[in-house]
Amino acid sequence: MVNLVLYFLGQPETKALLTLFVSIIILPLSAFSAPLVPHFIWVFLRSSYLFLGIYFVGVCCLVRWIARGGQYDALKTKDLSGKTYLVTGSAGGIGKQTALELSKLGAKVVLFARPSNLQQTISDVKKVARDAKLVSGYPIDLADLRSIKTGIEQYKKSEGEDAPITALINNAGVMACPYSTTKDGFETQMGTNHFGHFYLTQLLLPQLIKSKSRIVNVSSLAHAMWQVPCTSDTYAKQLNKQTYTPWNAYALSKTANIYFTQELHRRFHTQGVTAYVLHPGGVDTGLQRHVALSQVFFAPLRMLLFKTQLEGAQTNLFCAVSDDVVSGKYYSDCRETELANPHANNSEQAREWWEYSEKIVAEKIKQWD
């Protein structure tokens, strides 16, 4: 438990919050009572709106700088001409920002998004792309296996069965939503965050292997919020409405992302496929729409304490582009990081979860007939 607390305290948003607290509350109070400073000076400073304004702006700038976390500054020097990136969840948040940044650097970018958002997303990315002809998109709903199959079939028909893939960025996700199930009967968070990406990656595996591609999976520090392994039994508790809890279900789906990455590395690294998993940080996106507290109490602080979408996309971009990454590892703030949940670093559990995922996805597909 102590290690977990220290892990959370080390996060940029936590450091930023503590800095804000110290700067706004503790330091001024202690300074006003400092015995070595004449009282009339503190009276003057406290009554000076200019001083208070400068102090407040300075604190906000410092907090904002801390909250941004690690940045992939080397990206600005990259030329991604001739490279192809596939991005899920590209209609908004860090997925869209990832696509925007890659397209600016000359990459071919393939967008996977829900049908209702796809055309607007394609239009937005084309506006900033170095070459608008290199931006394409296909309708995919990660909460619907049939939609995934249809979308990938359209992609292969249009781009070619052997179209090269530099990296697949499995970014789409949902967080802490009320209980519901997908069209295939999965608990919604696990169905979207894991099973959908598992099936999509399976459909692309021949191309990924042939291209010796990278696979980037977006997990979260929230994998540590429920200190249990991801198994068929723990998943069954979240599939049951009576025992469902939004944050436990989210944590479990993020542990599943980590297992998926570890198994991708174990099974395919000898064939040239590499896999990375990451925590993007606390980012101000629509992912928090189901978290009432963040919408009300924390709303005024989000601009200060949470990363912008560009800042939140940095580790996505780092894992997709940088040469300084190691397959099978977990990244945060553009550097390799230890996992906060000891159950998440278990090769046997990862293998069993892969086999379970294969089995249950295959069973759902058989029901189509």
Count CB atoms within 10 A of the CB of residue 114: 17
Residue 305 pLDDT: 81
Total structural domains within the chain: 2
| Residues 132, 58 share a domain | no
| Residues 339, 307 share a domain | yes
Residue 297 pLDDT: 44
| Strand (E) or helix (H) holding 262 | helix 246-268
Residue 76 maps to a domain: no
Active-site hit among 250, 259, 276, 330: 250
Residue 74 maps to a domain: no
| Residues 86, 49 share a domain | no
| Residues 228, 112 share a domain | yes
Residue 87 DSSP symbol:
E
| Residues 19, 105 share a domain | no
Residue 20 maps to a domain: yes
Residue 344 DSSP symbol:
G
Residue 174 maps to a domain: yes
Residue 233 maps to a domain: yes
| Residues 284, 137 share a domain | yes
Domain that holds residue 40: 2-67
| Residues 85, 20 share a domain | no
Residue 202 maps to a domain: yes
| Residues 143, 59 share a domain | no
Final residue belonging to a domain, choices 45, 67, 89: 67
Could you confirm whether 331 is annotated as catalytic? no
Residue 226 maps to a domain: yes
d(CA 105, CA 99): 10
Pairing label, strands 84-88, 167-170: parallel
Final residue belonging to a domain, choices 27, 44, 67: 67
| Residues 13, 121 share a domain | no
CATH number at residue 152: 3.40.50.720
| Residues 32, 169 share a domain | no
| Residues 130, 26 share a domain | no
Per-residue pLDDT of the chain in tens (369 residues, 90 and over written 9): 545 666 667 777 788 888 888 877 766 555 555 555 556 555 665 566 676 777 788 888 888 888 888 889 999 999 999 999 999 999 999 999 999 999 999 999 999 999 999 999 999 999 999 999 999 999 999 999 999 999 999 999 999 999 999 999 999 999 889 999 999 999 999 999 999 999 999 999 999 999 999 999 999 988 888 788 899 999 988 889 999 999 999 999 999 999 999 999 999 999 999 999 999 988 776 555 545 555 544 666 777 788 889 999 999 999 999 999 999 999 999 999 998 888 899 999 999 999 999 999 999 999 986
Residue 73 maps to a domain: no
Cβ neighbours of residue 368 closer than 8 Å, sequence gap 6 or more:
146
The strands making up 274-279's β-sheet, listed across from edge to edge, are 135-139, 108-113, 84-88, 167-170, 214-218, 274-279, 330-332, 335-336
Q: How many CA atoms lie within 13 A of 203 on its CB side?
A: 22
Final residue belonging to a domain, choices 38, 67, 96: 67
**Nearest CA to 253 among 283, 228, 275?**
228
